[in-house]
Structure 1
Amino acid sequence: MFAIDHGIAQKWWVKPFVNLTRAMPLDPTRPMATRTLIKAVNEGNTLVIFPEGRISVTGSLMKVYDGAGLIADKTGANVVPVRIEGLEATPASYLNSAQVRRRWFPKVTVTILEPVKLEVAPALKGKARRHAAGAGLYQIMSDLVFRTTPIDRSVFDAVIEAAKVHGESRVALEDPVAGKLTYRKMLAGARVLGSRMAPFAPEGGAIGVMLPNAGGAVVTVLAVMSAGRVPAMINFTAGAANVLSACTAAKVETVLTSRGFVEKAKLDRLVAEMSGKVQIVYLEDLRAGIGLGDKLKGLWNRRRPLVKRSGSDPAAILFTSGSEGAPKGVVLSSKNLLANAAQAAARIDFGREDKVFNVLPMFHSFGLTVGAILPLVSGVPVYLYPSPLHYRIVPELVYASNATILFGTDTFLSGYARTAHPYDFRSLRYLLAGAEPVKEATRRVYMEKFGLRILEGYGVTETAPVLAINTPMFNRFGTVGRIMPGMEARLEPVPGIDEGGRLYVRGPNIMMGYLKADAPGVLQPPEAGWHDTGDIVTIDAEGFVTIRGRAKRFAKIAGEMVSLAAVEALAAEAWPGAMTGVVARPDARKGERLILVTDARGATRADIQAVSKAKGASELMVPAEVRVIEKLPVLGTGKLDLVTLGRDIAAEEQAA
């Protein structure tokens, strides 16, 4: 039996097929049709149904009707997920020419996965059960989209395939200095530049990349990949000691950068300190040696990498933020990066009509994977801007570029909200935030001033990076969304913490392993594939993850475990818009005491005590001391530099 939309069934060219098959037209105004289908399945009939209720008009997974899930739940029948790809690119497609590049004979693939049972909690009844059945079927369908997306190939090969599917003349990159760059020019440039990489590292070795968010940075990363080397993304805001430690861990002997960037970013001192340890190579010098013959050769061979690499080979090395200690090298394979891109694409509806505005630096895992690789392999143009701190300029450029997707942290988003005109973000469809908790004040101003929901996500460098995300269909304020498809999660109990546990995750996007300065070049893979996030979380019955705090960021006061992140959340309500950090210090009487540092002028302990009382929070969450300083130390990603903050407070106490 074939379930078909009532409107489609009425079309003259469809009616003959309806009459020849066991088709049942479904009308949303006739809810009793679901019962008829349940009866048919219970009688032993096989049912074919599009759970989205219609042919996709976006090219991505749309909403899944609860009724389709209810049929599977009520009958106990197996669900056989099927994906049909390629027909959307034919001239008869429902998608317009802006959404898809049409072709007469596109490759059509039909993938049929193994049957699965829809799992719904037995205790649920009525509407709650119907909703849970729909959510369960959506999970099955998003898993289908993820599992049928090719990820076992190199990133460079995936970009070449995207150019083939979407057209080499399509704009891939744009920035305010170099302008627009098509796939053709980008791939040709990567091929030409890649031919100059051999002297800087052996095949499979690491080459440092220290560049701002710009088209040239993406071309350089692709060039290193094409040459069979691994780009190690240098965090130029981390300070010379951390940068050199990172280079030691990854065995980086050469760092690629630009004279113009070094001059404008005032990195002369950093480069001078690095020069004695690693070779600094300027892109301007490499370009000077490229002639017309090299360019023509690169254009001719643009569809082939210089060195063939597999999906299991290392593709990039990123470094942990250093917010809690010395940075570690995180080795990510092409399969890791493409898996995370596929996971995001299975949950977020986006396509060729979108444009990503990326202000997050590419030494940040979100800036590299979600802000560059995901759109490039999906045919979505990327507008790159070098600094997220230009609070007046960024909203203007979002408006001018007609961007539809913007990424940011709470710190950056609150900065944009203060200066942006209410119409600046008119074109945005998605506003995604991560790296730090989104404050209620930030959510409120974006909803009231711009009419936008902030979709909060959660990721770590080791998961390439997205681990969980809220989506338009499944969004719950106060959480970071649901675990990505294809991933497993488990919670380990933590002594002294009653609610939640320490989160461990496993999946295709989990890193290959760590590189550490005390064992340069030695890959240390996660044990049995499980990564310890170090975060204490809870996961509710619907799969939404709530972060309670870092395992390292709990203080034991009078025998009770207190989350420093929870104290910072109270401070955010006491002083909206201010930056706040909490540090635990030894205390002879209670074990530990909390010191809160903020840039909120006139802040007092009484302020946070009042908020704590109003919220019904424990008295132990009220800091023993509140200190007001002009500026708190931050990392290049906008996150608070907890190491420096703790060191400064300890130094002050010793001096006293």
Structure 2
Amino acid sequence: MSRTFDANRIRTSLFDALIDASQTHGAKKPILEDQERNPLTYRDLIRASFALGRKLAAMTRSGERVGVMLPASAGGVVTFFALHAFGRTPTMLNFTAGIRNLKAACELAGVKTVLTSHRFVEQGKLHDLIDALEGLTKVVYLEEVRETIGLQDKLFAAAAGALPRQFRAATRPDDPGVILFTSGSFGAPRGVVLTQANLVANCHQIAAHIELDPDWVFFNPLPIFHVFGLTGGVLLPLLTGMKAFEYPSPLHTKQIPPLVKDSKAAVLLATDTFINQYARAAEPGDLSGLKFVVCGAEKVREETHNLITERFGPIPLLEGYGATEASPVIAVNKPTDNRRGTVGGLLPGIETKLEPVEGIPGGGKLYVRGPNVMAGYLQPGGGIEPPHGGWHDTGDVVSVSDDNWIKILGRVKRFAKVGGEMVSLTAAEDLAAAVWPECRHAVVALPDPKKGERLILVTDKRDAESAPLLAHAQTVGAPEIAVPRKIIRVPEIPVLGTGKTDYVALQRIVDAEIRRAA
């Protein structure tokens, strides 16, 4: 159910928030499941966290930043809370980011121990990553840790499960809750420190904004190294009484739709890319039981809205907006008020201010402040740089309606100056998406000696030409300078593990093509 939001009332540590949820909804309530289909109750989760946490505490020190390289799974969730039970800070490692970024993340966070599993490494073919990490950290396999859990550990876990507040490490709401790394879609990832209060607050902000039912199942195929998958797919359901169903990879487009049906999921977390793929692969009825789908990380295309409606009925796709630095949700649409073309209403407790951007009328660069905004960015040497005055610069240019509904106009980095005028690269991508909705498109800007910058369209549309783009631009009244004249056709658009377009990889493709053509 929806509720009012009081930031001071819900200030608590993360493990205590889990204990509170267990007491509210019942220790015996099934609350966590994955594709192995062995559901855990609140009591099971808390006991397992103490049993595993005791072993992990013996090989780490209090307050240590411990690397976690695991998929969305019951084991990944237990590991996260096991570290919290003993006052360690989970540092979520993006195993899709490549060896260089992974090593840089461990060095920046001072990670000495990385937790993973043999099964995950084998199935993900991650041996090269492990080899690289073993030269920098101690890699611990959870299967081997679990084999050492004996009778004493189980007795301890049973006692701790009965009196969790007496056994858990005493931590403060302002202590680190997790260290995450930004997606790196526009450059090198940054280390973000979110406090325990940040994460708990964002869950309560969402619950105050959208009416949630404790009887629902939340299906999460998104990685827990990404803040959307962690907060939306794990913490939100667990702390509000809904069962979290974890699935290890969003890429399994044929397996996920029937499992959504079989798990009786009411809510699915996804990105536009993934929900589009699931809808195409699904059998009739696979997704029909969903109350709604929450989409983040990228813009939801009109074609995706229409595809879901045509195949599965009026299931709302709720586009939302957030940032790792905001735990992450800043705004999201509601099932009862779903405004296409926007990213929804601002969550309660968040302040905003807009800074004018030269050449872009009707909006401004968005700054946000609130109980969900990070402690700060990790600095070399282990320090934390807090946001100035508590304000996080999102880098996004937005417009805000009188009732606090947000529309994204583009990123500051995603504008180009063509012939002295500011052009949104996102708007240029939208032109291509309108002409060829079934395909993926991305636009980048390159320096141009005559016009300042020029637009390059990269697309998987094999026969894409500029003429249809120009014709559509004229039809909708878009300026001709927003139409890319140079088109590069590729087999597929590079994406990150979260489904976002990988603009760093995209820029390399464009640079290589321009050099080849020169």
TM > 0.5 between the two?
yes
Scaled to the shorter chain, the TM-score interval is over 0.9
Residue in structure 2 matching 1:628, options 485, 489, 495: 489
Question: Which of 447, 452, 469 in structure 2 is aligned with 1:608?
Answer: 469
Partner-residue secondary structure (3-state), 2:443: strand
Alignment partner of 1:496 out of 334, 345, 359: 359
Deviation at 1:520, TM superposition (A): 3.2
Shift in alpha-carbon separation, 1:173–1:254, aligned structure 2, 3 A: same
Worse-superposed segment, 425-434 or 633-642: 425-434
| 2:262 corresponds to 1:415 | no
Q: Is the 8 A contact 1:579 1:599 kept in 2?
A: yes
Q: 2:279, 2:308 within 8 Å by CA — same for their partners in 1?
A: yes
Classify the secondary structure of the residue corresponding to 2:457. Answer: strand
- Shifted more, 209-218 versus 574-583: the winner is 574-583
- Alignment check: 8 A CA contact 1:195 1:306 kept: no
Report the residue type matching 1:163 in the other structure: S
User: 2:411 matched to which residue of 1?
Assistant: 550
Counterpart contact for 1:248–1:520, Cα < 8 Å: no
SS state of the match for residue 444, structure 1? helix
Which of 232, 238, 253 lines up with 1:370 in the alignment?
232
Give the structure-1-normalised TM-score.
0.77
- Given that residues 152 and 310 in structure 1 are in contact (C-alpha distance below 8 angstroms), is that contact kept between their aligned partners in structure 2? no
Displacement of 1:291 after TM fit? 0.6
Contact 1:245 1:327 in 2 (8 A): no
Q: Which has the higher contact order (CA 8 A, sep 6+)?
A: 2
Question: 2:33 aligns to what?
Answer: 174
Q: Which moved more, 1:178-187 or 1:223-232?
A: 178-187
Aligned to 1:68: none
3-state DSSP of counterpart to 1:165: helix
Which of residues 56, 77, 97 is equivalent to 1:238?
97
Preserved contact between residue 396 and residue 424 of structure 1 (Cα < 8 Å): yes
| Rounded Cα–Cα distance in structure 1 between residues aligned with 2:434 and 2:355 | 31
Q: Check conservation: 1:406, 1:428, Cα contact below 8 A.
A: yes
TM-score normalised by length of structure 2: 0.97
What is the CA deviation profile of residues 145-169 of structure 1, one whole-angstrom value per residue up to 9, with x for unaligned ones?
Answer: 1117842111111111211222221
Tell me how far apart the structure 2 counterparts of residues 548 and 611 of structure 1 sit (CA, whole Å).
19
2:88 corresponds to which residue?
Answer: 229
Going from structure 1 to structure 2, the CA distance change for 1:527 and 1:375 (only over 3 Å counts) comes to: same
Distance in 1 between residues matched to 2:7 and 2:122, nearest whole Å: 46
In the TM superposition, residue 448 of structure 1 has moved relative to its aligned partner by 2.2
Aligned-partner SS, 1:301? helix
- Asked if 1:513 is matched to 2:372, the reply is no
Displacement of 1:619 in angstroms is 0.2
In the alignment, the residues of structure 2 paired with residue 171 and residue 555 of structure 1 have an alpha-carbon distance, to the nearest angstrom, of 51
Runs of 4+ in 1 over 6 A off after TM superposition: none
Q: Output the amino acid matched with 1:312.
A: D
Q: Which amino acid aligns with 1:401?
A: S
Once residues 255 and 18 of structure 2 are traced to their aligned partners in structure 1, the CA distance between those partners, rounded to angstroms, is: 30
Query: How many residues were matched structurally?
Result: 513
Aligned residue in 2 for 1:210: 69
- Render the CA deviation track for 1:241-290: whole Å, top value 9, x for unaligned: 11111111111111100000000011011111121111111101111211
For residues 181 and 381 of structure 2, the distance between their equivalents in structure 1, rounded to whole angstroms, comes to 14
Identity of aligned residues (%): 49
- SS of 1:146's partner is coil
Structure 2 CA distance for partners of 1:201 and 1:376, relative to 1, 3 Å: same
Q: 2:54 touches 2:153 (CA, 8 Å); kept in 1?
A: no
**Alignment root-mean-square deviation, CA:** 1.4
CA displacement at 1:384 relative to structure 2: 0.8
Q: Report matched runs for 1:287-326 at 5 Å.
A: 287-302=146-161, 303-304=164-165, 305-326=167-188
Q: Which residue of 1 aligns with 2:508?
A: 647
Which residue matches 1:88? Answer: none
Specify the structure having the higher radius of gyration (Cα). 1
How many Å apart are 1:472 and its aligned residue? 2.3
Q: What is the DSSP-based 3-state SS (H/G/I as helix, E as strand, rest coil) of the residue aligned with 1:196? A: helix
- Cα deviation for residue 199 of structure 1 reads 4.8
Ranges in structure 2 where 5+ consecutive residues have no aligned partner: none
Q: Which runs of 5+ in 1 are unaligned?
A: 1-59, 62-141
Q: C-alpha deviations, 1:431-465, integer Å up to 9, x for none?
A: 11111000000011112221212111101100000
Corresponding position: 1:596 with 2:457: yes
Aligned partner of 1:191 in structure 2 is 50
Match of 1:360 among 222, 246, 263: 222
